């Protein structure tokens, strides 16, 4: 058979892989179940403005990722001054932390408790953290865990912090320390005339999805194929079950290929195979994903608050994050005199909110936005829109890696199969890390480089101390 690669999914991992493969002259065809390019990082027009699927900032010190960005976007981006805060019990905390802000928001007794519990953990730390709560408590102390980690994390994952694997904390919070946060809060950016990736981020002027739309244009303009609204039924393996031969579409059409890059949920991928070892199928059944519900509100006002997004840690409301697209770049607003906010709710498929009527979800979003005083009752909400996105976040339950190990061994035994991306590899990636997975998968296929794609994790160059302009100039 002539060499051909099929890519399942047109999100950051899939599109970046197909783009790089086409640049290398590989025959490539993309199949995307939805009608959109960009996956969770796509952009779309709404009420005369431009919005994303929640907040997506681009930041990386990885040379390959920055080259992908600048090659496609060139100068058509802006550098956004980042402002994000944490909302907790009627107060706003600057993020990253600033000492004056923390002192003004917390009573002296609470500050003393933070330092006291921090000291206890440093004197008598647990030998090994088995779960998220233990990892954070070891690092920061019990009080800080309760204020800044517990409620938000349990909203996001839908399980107790004692049921979340310590891996997630190690990947996402590993570079943060209490003393480092205090130092940053005291001196800030003093002595450094350049703003860092903490302070700023690069952003395409027409939304984050522009990056993937342009990559898709390159693919189709240079002999590749992209099929939208064309879901895959299953991947075809040979009789021995150890080599890919193509895919079957929902209508029964067979498309042959010598390799398949899959960004579909890893659980869906494996359940589509026949004769899967019992141990592997048992492990697959232990994995699950978290869903997202996005509620967009068009507000008849332009100066609501200055943040790009706010983390909502308070337990009295169900949404966990709110994005204000008015504060990203003027080209998104298109001279409209209204503000589009996006509230994020997270749930499992069996949760009531997932199947609730759209009106109920909208009413909840309206009630909560008023409840936390981000929008006053006198301000009109002109329009609403709800998006439901299944299987967005791989849930890192305690011991999940014990289930992943036999799954990885099984998938590695299938020649020509490359599971990548947040869904495909069951990794809590940023778009940057998914891009890197896609680019390296292309190198593995086209150049036969011995790259272990499973080792590309969310902690790859997960640092923000690079200078934004220097990083993009690499």
- Tell me what pLDDT residue 90 has: 87
Written as one string, the DSSP assignment of 157-197 is HSS-GGGBBHHHHHHHSTT--HHHHHHHHHHTTTT--S-BT
Confirm if 124 and 141 have CB atoms less than 8 A apart.
no
- Tell me what pLDDT residue 255 has: 97
Confirm if 202 and 69 have CB atoms less than 8 A apart.
yes
Other CB atoms within 10 A of residue 429 CB: 25
Confirm if 421 and 14 have CB atoms less than 8 A apart.
yes
Q: Looking at the chain, how many residues does it have?
A: 474
Confirm if 61 and 472 have CB atoms less than 8 A apart.
no
Burial of 163 (0-12, 13-18, 19+ CB in 10 A): middle
Residue 21 per-residue DSSP state: H
- Tell me what pLDDT residue 95 has: 79
Query: How far is C-alpha 403 from the geometric centre of its chain's CA atoms?
Result: 22
Question: Does residue 231 sit in helix, strand or coil?
Answer: coil
Q: In terms of Cα–Cα distance, which of 435, 407, 413, 411 is closest to 422?
A: 435
- Ordered alpha helix ranges (H), 226-356: 266-271, 278-285, 330-333, 352-355
Q: In terms of Cα–Cα distance, which of 156, 161, 396 is closest to 292?
A: 156
- Going residue by residue through the chain (474 aa), what tens digit of pLDDT does each one get? 689 999 999 999 999 999 999 999 999 999 999 999 999 999 999 999 999 998 988 877 788 999 999 999 999 999 998 899 999 888 898 877 666 777 788 888 988 888 888 888 778 777 788 899 998 888 888 888 888 889 999 999 999 999 999 888 777 665 555 556 555 555 555 544 444 446 788 899 999 999 999 999 999 999 999 999 999 999 999 999 999 999 999 999 999 999 999 999 999 999 999 999 999 999 999 999 999 999 999 999 999 999 999 999 989 999 999 999 999 999 999 999 999 999 999 999 999 999 999 999 999 999 999 999 889 888 999 999 999 999 999 999 998 999 999 999 999 999 999 999 999 999 988 888 899 999 999 999 999 999 999 988 655 444 455 554 554 554
- Tell me what pLDDT residue 196 has: 45
- Does 368 sit behind a cis peptide bond, omega within 30 degrees of 0 on the bond before it? no
- Tell me what pLDDT residue 473 has: 52
Distances (CA, A) of 66 to 73, 157, 211, 257: 10, 30, 12, 30
* CA 214/CA 72 separation, integer angstroms: 6
- Does 96 sit behind a cis peptide bond, omega within 30 degrees of 0 on the bond before it? yes
Confirm if 391 and 422 have CB atoms less than 8 A apart.
no
Domains in the chain, CATH or no CATH each: 5-73+204-281+397-472 (3.50.50.60), 99-187 (1.10.3110), 289-394 (3.90.660.20)
Rounded (10°) angle between helices 278-285 and 400-412: 130
Question: Does residue 315 sit in helix, strand or coil?
Answer: coil
- Tell me what pLDDT residue 285 has: 96
CA 3-238-415 angle, to 5 degrees, is 55
Confirm if 52 and 43 have CB atoms less than 8 A apart.
yes
* CA 148/CA 173 separation, integer angstroms: 12
Distances (CA, A) of 131 to 128, 348, 455: 9, 21, 21
* CA 133/CA 153 separation, integer angstroms: 10
Confirm if 154 and 320 have CB atoms less than 8 A apart.
no
Q: Report, in this order, helix, strand and coil percent for the chain, each rounded to 5.
A: 40, 25, 35
Beta pairing partners, 88: 91
pTM of the full predicted structure?
0.91
User: Which DSSP helix (H) or strand (E) runs through 339?
Assistant: strand 339-347
Confirm if 235 and 19 have CB atoms less than 8 A apart.
no
- Tell me what pLDDT residue 192 has: 46
- Tell me what pLDDT residue 463 has: 47
Tokens of 419: 């599971």
* CA 79/CA 56 separation, integer angstroms: 13
Tokens of 381: 């909400």
Task: Spell out the long-range contacts of 329-333 with Cβ–Cβ below 8 A and sequence spacing 24 or more.
Answer: 329/78, 329/80, 329/203, 329/205, 331/50, 331/78, 331/205, 331/206, 332/49, 332/50, 332/51, 332/205, 332/206, 332/207, 333/49
Q: In terms of Cα–Cα distance, which of 19, 36, 39, 435 is closest to 264?
A: 39
Q: In terms of Cα–Cα distance, which of 214, 230, 259 is closest to 26?
A: 259
């Amino acid at each position: 058979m002539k060499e051909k690669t099929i890519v399942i999914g047109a999100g950051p991992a899939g599109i970046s892989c197909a783009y790089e493969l086409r640049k290398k002259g590989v025959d490539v065809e993309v199949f995307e179940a939805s009608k959109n390019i960009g996956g969770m990082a796509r952009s779309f027009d709404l009420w005369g403005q431009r919005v994303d699927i929640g907040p997506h900032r681009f930041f990386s010190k990885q040379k390959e990722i920055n080259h992908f960005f600048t090659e496609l976007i060139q100068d058509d981006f802006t550098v956004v001054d980042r402002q994000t805060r944490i909302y907790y019990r009627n107060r706003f905390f600057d993020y990253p932390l600033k000492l004056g802000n923390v002192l003004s928001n917390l009573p002296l007794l609470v500050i003393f408790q933070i330092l006291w519990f921090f000291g206890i953990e440093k004197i008598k730390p647990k030998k090994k953290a088995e779960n998220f709560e233990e990892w954070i408590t070891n690092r920061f102390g019990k009080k800080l865990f309760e204020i800044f980690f517990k409620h938000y994390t349990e909203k996001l994952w839908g399980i107790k912090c004692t049921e979340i694997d310590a891996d997630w904390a190690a990947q996402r919070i590993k570079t943060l320390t209490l003393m480092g946060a205090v130092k940053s809060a005291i001196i800030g950016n003093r002595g450094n005339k350049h703003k860092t990736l903490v302070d700023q981020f690069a952003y395409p002027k027409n939304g984050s999805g522009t990056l993937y739309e342009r990559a898709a244009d390159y693919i189709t303009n240079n002999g590749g194929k992209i099929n939208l609204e064309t879901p895959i039924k299953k991947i075809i393996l040979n009789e021995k079950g150890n080599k890919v031969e193509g895919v079957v579409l929902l209508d029964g059409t067979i498309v042959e290929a010598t390799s398949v890059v899959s960004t579909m949920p890893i659980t869906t991928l494996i359940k589509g195979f026949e004769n899967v070892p019992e141990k592997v199928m048992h492990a697959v059944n232990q994995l699950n994903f978290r869903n997202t519900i996005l509620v967009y509100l068009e507000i008849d006002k332009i100066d609501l608050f200055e943040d790009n997004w706010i983390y909502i840690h308070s337990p009295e409301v169900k949404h966990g994050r709110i994005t204000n697209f008015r504060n990203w770049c003027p080209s998104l607003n298109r001279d409209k005199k209204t503000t589009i906010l996006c509230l994020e709710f997270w749930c499992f498929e069996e949760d009531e909110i997932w199947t609730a009527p759209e009106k109920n979800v909208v009413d909840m979003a309206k009630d909560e936005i008023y409840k936390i005083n981000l929008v006053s009752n006198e301000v009109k909400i002109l329009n609403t829109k709800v998006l439901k996105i299944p299987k967005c976040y791989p849930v890192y339950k305690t011991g999940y890696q014990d289930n992943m190990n036999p799954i990885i061994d099984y998938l590695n035994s299938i020649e020509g199969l490359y599971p990548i991306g947040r869904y495909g590899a069951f990794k809590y990636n940023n778009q940057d890390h998914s891009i890197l997975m896609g680019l390296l998968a292309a190198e593995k296929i086209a150049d036969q480089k011995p790259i272990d794609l499973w080792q590309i994790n969310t902690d790859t160059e997960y640092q923000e101390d690079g200078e934004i302009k220097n990083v993009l100039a690499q």
